[in-house]
Amino acid sequence: VSLVPLVFPLSFVSKKTVQQVIHLVAQSHSHLEPLFRLAGYTLLTLFLIDLLAILIPLNFTNPVWEFQLANQIVERAPVPILGFIFVLIGESQFRIFKFLSWLSLLGGVLYFLLIPLSISAIVRIDQQSSGQISTRLEQIQQLKEQINKAQTSTDVSAILSQLNPQATPPTIENPEAVKQQLLASLSQNERSLQAQAASRENNLGTQIKNTIKISLGALISGTFFLVIWQKTRKIVNRS
């Protein structure tokens, strides 16, 4: 038994039928252009509103805010990318098309700038955290030395005044007992700070991984925007 393929002969398709199909495709494309344009502008508007909510209030001196800014903008990258694609597909006005072409270049540059911003922010966060812990540990060590050197009730009272200047120093009848209480409290604070330092070191790997993720996302998004700019620039130059 031979198998005869079900092939529709091209000779059976009339020229009129082909023209009708082409006309329907062109007509459907003309109807879809406004929808693409509307969808694109909607996505870009939503992204702009979201971006303003992220930026305001500006706090570029805060590395935590800078890191969160870069992370949130990269996470929302698909929204402006799809918005640009839809608008460029549906936009027929040359001036707007040209403006969007240059805007895509700006978007690419901004996404590339998020790479050094996120790296700088995470380095400063780690330095600040490490510096704060080191400073507090040094202060505790200095207080311990002062307490160990204290001999009289007056010396212990002076240390209490140093720890809490606003409070009235109590009458100290047993300075040695007060010294032991202070040393025990400082030792507990010291152990807590050492635990924080160990936790910071353990979290450093996660922070580095998040920074790499943000940097790669910004690199991919920025490259895509530059590709859009390059392709649209060729169209603009030919027009």
Using the CB atoms, write b or e for 14-24: b if 16+ within 10 Å: eeeeeeeeeee
In a domain, 2, yes or no: no
In a domain, 136, yes or no: yes
In a domain, 148, yes or no: yes
The DSSP element (H or E) to which 217 belongs, if any, is: helix 175-238
In a domain, 8, yes or no: no
Q: Which residues contact 135 (CB under 8 A, 6 or more apart)?
A: none
In a domain, 93, yes or no: yes
pLDDT tens digits, one per residue of 89-115: 877 777 888 888 899 999 999 999 999
pLDDT at 19: 54
* pLDDT-based confidence at residue 36 (cuts at 50, 70, 90): confident
Give the domain range for residue 188. Answer: 15-238
In a domain, 3, yes or no: no
- 3-state secondary structure (DSSP) of residue 7: coil
In a domain, 176, yes or no: yes
In a domain, 92, yes or no: yes
pLDDT at 217 over 70: yes
Q: Which residues contact 107 (CB under 8 A, 6 or more apart)?
A: 80, 84, 222, 225
Choice between 17 and 206, residue whose per-residue pLDDT is larger: 206
CA-CA distance, 135 to 138, in Å (whole number)? Answer: 5
Check residue 81 and give left, alpha or beta (phi > 0: left; psi -120 to 50: alpha): alpha
Q: How many folded domains does the chain comprise?
A: 1
Using the CB atoms, write b or e for 67-92: b if 16+ within 10 Å: bebbbebbebbebbbebbbbbbebbe
CA 132 to the chain's CA centroid: 24
pLDDT at 2 over 50: no
| Residue carrying structure tokens 């009458």 | 171
